Structures are given as structure tokens and as C-alpha cells.
Structure 1
């Protein structure tokens, strides 16, 4: 490979690394703290914030002098307004007034949606930066990690004879999956920042929550049980509310999500959002439903739930069974409300809104509505929160303060900079001008390591920093081997080009052997180790690859550049070397 090709390869690698590192630069260096807090919230919180801020903006605009022109604060609206005027085959005025702006939109809700979209896109853009950046572990960012034990034997015992002994294993797997589903839903609703929730072993759940969180509140979420009930839908009130909301979207709810004018619905009713799972598996509100405050049937009467299919249409259905008391209550209620809609309400969210076709007696209920298998499975999981009771116990809990995490970051950065600085000073003193090659190689080595961490969305912990510091030493070792080989060739009277070529060739396999064995050890540690050991191993493996590249490729390119472009005749590589 000639010098020009190697230079192009190096530039391409550096450009690719910069692309990988850009989300991390944008998140940690260009995103304000307030925006970071919003982006780290749950999807539902982001949506609620966008709606709230949009409503505040629209209310403020309605109080303005409509003959006034747009200020710079709202200059971003001009593009959308011009687009809407063009759709109407009209030309937008050169100087837009608020009256001109409002006339471009069909309704207040249409105008409100533009503001919601702007706020949402700003936050989601920051959230995307975070998702594609290097994450900070709890030991650096602060937060909590919790290990919860699920008592699957107790859950099985509570079912009595309903579960056959040969199905016990399948029941425990389903109970465990349901417990994780419930915890994910509760913690995401609480608005916590990007929690990690995963199964650990057969009966334990690992929860990692970055950022500041109150331990008592988290424990309440974990130990609590979802609230499930069935309520009658007030169809007339629902239609009236949705018509009112379409006309007054900015003045319907306050910052707490409460109705600003409670009289828009009957006194015996409540309004809830109707939710479905989005493409990320999170609850997404898509409509509003007004339901009676009176609970028609409590979820504790649900005893089992499965997904089936209609025998004629083969459409997915959800079948669930009630206990004897619930069967009587449900039979009487459905018999009295044939033709009305019944909502399944879980934690103040409407998860299903089905029409009562006939009186349902006997305790065996089927829900159908033309939904997909995924939607049917989600409804089944909602029903399972009522009957599949898995006792949870917090086994261990560790809280790391944000200030301690900041101290760890400063200590880690100081260790890297100090170690790198001392090594580079030594290289410059001992190897003279050739030490500059080592300096550049080390800086590029760190740049590439952080880029790879960002590219794979890996987590940076104190143990990862330890792996980086070790890598710095190993990368210098490769440079030392090369420089000493070059010095040996120079002592034998070789010319600069010959000494450099022989030095790299002779040092190649010594460097590769040591780094390959280290890389193999790091791979085994990353696969077999857990926690901090795994973090150390991953950063070490990345560092091995990047250090070999910088030592053999980048350093060689710099030597050749001096030889062929700057026409250097001698090598400044140490004391007492005669050339």
C-alpha cells in the first residue's frame, strides 16, 4: 500500500470515527441540561410536556395584538405558514401578522399541533443524540441499581389446582415475563430516566436507574400492584368532550393534567386517555374516553386470560375467566347495558374499549374488535396484572449520588490525562522527535476508542476507564518496540528509509503476538465476566485494536511522510545514535 493510499485510509477512518463520536459531542457538549432532563424522561412525559408547552404558547398568542408582526422568537413559523398558503393557492404576505398566521390554519387544534410537533422534535432530537452516544454508568452518572427477587413458588401456590404440575415451568416463565412487563410499565410511567430492566437468572430482576431518584418512591413502585377495573363508557359525554377538546385544546388541561373546566364532563364521570403500544413497546395515547367513576367490576375477579381466535373469522380474541362472584356481577351488569361500551382501565389508562353485544354470564368472557394478535396479546397482559400476582422482594439496593458520580468522572479523566501526559513526556525526552509520533498515535488512539464506544452505544464506567489507562501503556509498549528496533538498525549503519522499514518489519510479529493474546483474554473476560469486569474487558479489547492500528499504521505513515515529503535524512530517535 503506497503512502497516498494509506493517507486516504487514515482520513477515512478519522472521518468515520468523528461521525460515530458526533452524537456524544452533541449530547455532552451541545445539549443544555434542561433539554437533557426532558430527553431522558419517558415517551409519555415528553408528549405531555410538548402538549403543555404548546398550550401555553397558544394561550399567550391569543392574548397578543393580532395585528402585530411575528417576532424573531416565532420566525420558525414562517416556513410552515408559507407552505400552507401555497396549499391554498394563495401568496403569503411579506410581513406576516398574527392574524395572517392564524388564518392559515383550519382550527386551533391544527395550530396547536404545529407547536407540539416543534417541541417534540427538539426533545426527540436530543434523545436520539443520547441513544447514539457513550452512556455513563451508575458509578459515573449516579443513580440506583436494584435486584428484585420474584417469588414464583408463591405465585404458583396462589393458583391452587388451576395450574397442572406439568405446566408449572411454563407458568413460572409467564409469571416472570409479566412481572418484568409490569415493572417496566410502572417505572416508565413514573417518568424515570432511561431505566434498564432485565431478567437475571430464573427468578431475579435487575433494575438500573441513572440520575437522581428517590429510593422510597422506587420501592413503592416495585412493591405496588397495578390497579385494574372495568368501567362503563359514557359515549355521549365522550363525543361531547372530544368536540370540546378539538375547539379548545390549549385550555382543556392544566400542567397537572387536570381539567381546567370540570363541567365539560358529567360529575359522575372521569376522562382518561386511551392507549396502545407504539413501535417501541411503550404506551401511546391516541384518543380520549369518558368513563363512569363507578367501577362495574374490580380486576381482582379475573382469574385467567389467554389469546384465542374466532372459530368463524379466525380473528384474534382475548378470552378471560372470572371467579364465581365476578361472574354474577358481570352477568348482571352486561345484561343491563347491552349495546353500551365497556372500558378496561389499568392504572388510569384505558387499554380496551369494547361494545357489549349481549349479556355475558357464566364467567367466561371473550373480547373481540378486529385487533391484531399483538394488540390482543397486550390486552391479555393487562388482564394478567389482576390475577397473576407475583410477590416481589427487594434483595439489594445501591444508591450512588450524582455528586459522587461527578467526582468519579473528574478522577477518571484526571487519571487518563495524567497517565497520558507522563508517558508522552517520557517519550519526547527519551526518543526526541520520534516521540512526537507516539504522542500523535496516543491521541488518535483515545479518539478512536471513544468513537467505537459511541458507535456501539456502550457504557463508560470506572472499570472501562481503567481498561483505557492500561491500553495507553500497551500502546506505548508497541511504539517502544518499534523505536528500539529502528535504533538497532541505525547502529548497524543502515540509512533512514532502510532502518525504519526493517524496524517496523522486525517489530511487527512481536507486537501482534502480545496484542492478540491480550485481545483473546479480553474477549473471554467480556463473555464470561459480569458488571465491572465486563466493562474493563470491553474497553481493553477496543483499545488493543485501536493501539495496533495507530502504532503500526499511523506511526509508519508519519515516518514515511518525513522521509518522502520533508526529505529527512536522519532519524531523531534517541541519545547517542550516530548517523
Structure 2
């Protein structure tokens, strides 16, 4: 490849690297601490902050012009002008406009944080959550299913105490939680069981978003399709109109509406809340939808789920792919065929999509859906749709979980240890730079430039993958510097050999890179394979070290074989140099 081709590739990769690493640079060096703390808070905290700021701004605005009126003719004129301008704008409209500015600024910072390079618990601290697996609730659910099955079969229900393999169930929970956190972008969550109990301990590095963590942990992932009971809907609507004092409330445990004593009895129907997202992404109760208690189709039939934008409405939606599943009786059924039968038999009725006892969406069945693909839209953002798809893909948890403790913790290593580790890494890098400069002269300077490019590309790739940086990861970066230098040393020794034989500078450079290529590639590929094995079959800090090492190998190969070659070719082809500065000794 020509010098121009290599240079174009380098420029393109540099632009991409700048785009990848810029969110991390802005987060850690440019965004004020106050904004970062607000962005890491709950949505309720952000809403309180924005509304308070809007009120303060309005009061300050009124106070400023009231004060200006008292001091000068100009102030009185300005106050009258502003009064006329804002006569058509209500106080609520003014506050809403100001609140929007503060809300969007903080939510933008919150979104940007998701694109940054994270620091691990040992470097920055994070969030620890203790969960309890409620096996009693699981036992009760199994008994209710058995009771219903006996009633449907016309048999007498005989209570039995089914044995639950707690060890297997807890291991299944930890596996599914790990899968969820991996899909939500957390690279190194630590999930382990507390010995002698039904508790699970979760450590999340960095300043975790508490609300999103709770969504990942407690999101049951259970989605069912229910037919709306339109008769009860009509009765409930009439009851609300005839009883203005009645204010329907939701039972937080069951998600159903608490009905008054004089409401007509219902058989096989429950009334659930229908929700939409407000401007802060919080669920807001909008309506009450009666649905049949027994779902027409279980979410177990969902084989895949993905978020996308609707081509016509340009709004986010979740697409489900239905397939074969095993029902409670252990029978295999075709979810697509069942959904086709449901939509065929219930044309003209409403079908509700219920997620964790909340009506996500409901719509009239106009035509039968026989393809097994179902699109569900609602009042949610793309991020909400994506989160929902990820929870559904990982499946429902086999046992209900409850959070019994949640706390933010500081760095486990302490500031002094972290500072010593980072200083050690920097000193090591400086010593490597000095060695290359003293031993290889001008070529050593090129190696230092290539190493800087290597570090930049490495951090950019770690940033774009939302990697969690720990102390072991820093060790992987230091090892990457040494391996990158090793590649340069192999190339330079080959060039020196060719140059010592009397070849021209340009010919020696070409022959040196050609002869060193396969040696460098073989050595790095074997190390890369070992690193991939560690990355795939280990967890925690070892996996972080292996991942950093693998990424570092890729960037080291590129900078040693491409960036260094560009610098050498620039010296001979553009600057016209006929001699090489590649050794502390005179070669010829």
C-alpha cells in the first residue's frame, strides 16, 4: 500500500477515535460536578431540580424588573415592555419553558454518561445491592397454578409440597442477571450468592443509575397478551361518572385497582392501570383497563425481541417474534399459530399487552396476525423500548426478587493506592520512551509517536465498548505498551540489518518491515488467542485484563506496522532523507 493510502486510513481512524473518546473526555474533564451528580440521580430528583429551578427563575425574573422599575426611567420602560410581552404567556407556560431547558440539559448529560469509559469499584466505587429470592412466593404461585389446573379438569385439588432445588434456582437467577447486565452495557458486574442464605450480592462499578439498575433487577420480564373485557370497562366508566368522589387507586403489590365495596362483582377479570412516559421517562397513570385474568398467550412464546423505529410513525416500538414454547403442563406449543387463532377469534375486540401487571399498550384487533411477528408501540422512548426488549430476551426470572439493601460504596483501594498504581504506569511508560529515544535515536522518536497513537486508539475502543476500567485493566494497558515496543524493536533490528548490508534507507525500511511482519504477526496472534480464551471463559477482573490485552494487541499491530511505516516513508519520500537515525552507534 502506498504512503497516501496508509495516511488516508490513519486520518479516517483518527476521526473515528476522536468521536469514540470525546464523550469520555467531556464527562471526566468538561462537565461540572453538579451536573454529573444530578445526572446520576433518580428521575424524581431530576424532576424536582428542574421544577425548582423553573420557579426560582420566574421569581428572579419578576424581582429583577420590579427592582429596575424603582431606579430609573429606562428600568420602568423596560419593565412595562416585558410586562406587555408576557401578558399572553401564563405563569405555568413560562415555568414549563424554563423547566424544559433544565430537564433536557440534565437528561442529555445522563445519556452521555452511558457512552463513557467507566471506572470499576476498585478505582471509583459503585453500587452494591443485596437481593432476596422469595421462594415462598414461588411455592404459592405453583400451588395456584395447580389449583387452577385441577379446577379446569374438574378434579379435586390435593395440596402437595413440591420440592424446590434452591441451589439450581439461585444459579439460574445469577446467570440471567449477568446476561441482563451484560446486555445493558455493564462489562464487569460481580454477582455471587451469600453463603448459607437465599440472598444474592451484586456489585456494580461506577456511579450506577439506581433506577435503571432496579429496572434490570426487578423487571420480571413477564409479558402476556390479554383480551380487554369491554363490558366491565363500560360498567367501570359509568361507575366513575356516577361517583365523582371515588378516586381509583392501584394496589402496589398486585398492580390492580382497589375497588369499592359496592362495585358489582367481577368473575375472571381484573382492572389494571395503563401507563405512559412523561418528559422525564417516568411512568404516569393514564387510564384503567379491565382485562381477562387469564392471559390468552404467555410471554414464554416470545423467541426474540428488538427495539426499532416505526417507518410510518417514526416512533419507537418493540417487535416480538413468536415461536414454540413449553406450557405449564410440559407440552410444546406453537406460539405463532396460537396468536393467529387468538386474533382470528377475537376480531373487533381489544388486545392488551401487559408487562409486569402494567398495560403497556392496547389496540383493536382488525385482522388476524398469522406471521408470528407482533409490533407493540406505546408512549415510551427508544431507550425504554430497547430496555424492554433486552429484559424480554433474557427471560423472566424463575423466582421473584426483592431488594433488601442498596448502598453506594467508595473505592476499595483508596486514593493513595490508586495514585501509586497510575504513577507506576506512567513511570513505566516514560522509561520505555526514554529507552527508545536513547537507543534508537530518531527511529525511537517515531516509536514514541506510534505508542501515543496506540494509547489513543486503545482508550477510544475501550470507550466505545463502554468498558469498565479496573486496576487489572490498567495492568493490561501497561503490558500493551511493552508489547507495542517489542514489535517496534523487532522491526528496527531488521531495518538495521538491511541498512548495515549497504542498502539505501528506503530499501532497508521496506525490507525491514517485510521481514518483520510475519514474526510480529505470529507472536501477537498466539497471545491474542490466549487472551480471547481468558476473556470468554472467565469473569470479573481477569476478564477485564484479558479484554484490554486483546484490544491492545490489535492497536499495537496497527500502530507498529502502519503508523511507524508512515513516519519512515514520510522521512524518505517527502523529506528526501537518504540516511537513517536508528541506532546510538554509527552504522555506516
Same fold, TM exceeding 0.5?
yes
Task: Quote how far apart the aligned CAs of 1:109 are.
Answer: 1.1
Q: 1:510–1:389: structure 2 CA closer, same or farther, 3 Å change rule?
A: closer
CA distance in 2, matches of 1:10, 1:556: 11
Q: 1:206–1:403: structure 2 CA closer, same or farther, 3 Å change rule?
A: closer
1:388-428: CA deviations, max 9, x gaps?
9957697x999852484544542342122111100111111
CA distance in 2, matches of 1:378, 1:151: 17
Other structure's SS at 1:376 match: strand
- Work out whether 1:366 is the aligned partner of 2:270: yes
Question: Cα RMSD (Å) of the superposition?
Answer: 4.9
Task: Quote how far apart the aligned CAs of 1:162 are.
Answer: 2.1
1:352-501 to structure 2, matched below 5 A, reads 359-361=263-265, 365-367=269-271, 369=288, 376-379=354-357, 400-402=409-411, 404=413, 406-501=415-510
Residue of 125, 139, 146 corresponding to 1:164: 146
Task: Quote how far apart the aligned CAs of 1:339 are.
Answer: 9.3
Task: Quote how far apart the aligned CAs of 1:98 are.
Answer: 3.8
2:249–2:258 Cα contact (<8 Å) kept: yes
CA distance in 1, matches of 2:64, 2:543: 58
1:338–1:357 Cα contact (<8 Å) kept: no
1:343–1:354 Cα contact (<8 Å) kept: yes
1:434–1:573 Cα contact (<8 Å) kept: yes
CA distance in 2, matches of 1:558, 1:136: 34
CA distance in 2, matches of 1:171, 1:362: 37
1:113-152 to structure 2, matched below 5 A, reads 113-146=96-129, 148-152=131-135
Task: Quote how far apart the aligned CAs of 1:125 are.
Answer: 2.2
CA distance in 2, matches of 1:104, 1:35: 33
Partner of 1:208: 203
1:145–1:206 Cα contact (<8 Å) kept: yes
CA distance in 2, matches of 1:281, 1:161: 25
Other structure's SS at 2:354 match: helix
CA distance in 1, matches of 2:121, 2:42: 19
Partner of 2:18: 18
CA distance in 2, matches of 1:450, 1:493: 41
Partner of 1:102: 86
1:219-273: CA deviations, max 9, x gaps?
xx99xxxxxxxxxxxxxxxxxxxxxxxxxxxxxxxxxxxxxxxxxxxxxxxxxxx
Partner of 1:309: 227
- Work out whether 1:344 is the aligned partner of 2:250: yes
CA distance in 2, matches of 1:126, 1:471: 32
Q: 1:30–1:393: structure 2 CA closer, same or farther, 3 Å change rule?
A: closer
Other structure's SS at 1:145 match: strand
2:117–2:468 Cα contact (<8 Å) kept: yes
CA distance in 2, matches of 1:523, 1:456: 16
Other structure's SS at 1:308 match: strand
Other structure's SS at 2:250 match: strand
2:131–2:402 Cα contact (<8 Å) kept: yes
Partner of 2:35: 35
Residue of 507, 512, 525 corresponding to 1:516: 525
CA distance in 2, matches of 1:94, 1:412: 60
Partner of 1:80: none
1:156–1:163 Cα contact (<8 Å) kept: no
Task: Quote how far apart the aligned CAs of 1:511 are.
Answer: 0.7
1:195–1:207 Cα contact (<8 Å) kept: no
CA distance in 2, matches of 1:11, 1:340: 67
1:68–1:98 Cα contact (<8 Å) kept: no
Partner of 1:295: none
Partner of 1:45: 45
Q: Given the two structures, how large is their TM-score scaled by the length of structure 2?
A: 0.62
CA distance in 2, matches of 1:195, 1:514: 28
1:513-564: CA deviations, max 9, x gaps?
1111122222221111101011111111110110100000000000000001
2:229–2:269 Cα contact (<8 Å) kept: no
1:338–1:358 Cα contact (<8 Å) kept: no
Task: Quote how far apart the aligned CAs of 1:20 are.
Answer: 0.9
1:182-221 to structure 2, matched below 5 A, reads 205-209=200-204
CA distance in 2, matches of 1:64, 1:397: 44
> Which segments of 5 or more consecutive residues in structure 1 lack a partner in the other structure?
70-92, 184-193, 223-276, 284-304, 318-332, 383-387
CA distance in 2, matches of 1:490, 1:117: 67
Task: Quote how far apart the aligned CAs of 1:496 are.
Answer: 0.7
CA distance in 2, matches of 1:15, 1:150: 48
CA distance in 2, matches of 1:526, 1:96: 69
CA distance in 2, matches of 1:389, 1:549: 48
Partner of 1:254: none
Q: Given the two structures, how large is their TM-score scaled by the length of structure 1?
A: 0.63
1:176-200: CA deviations, max 9, x gaps?
99x99xx9xxxxxxxxxx9998977
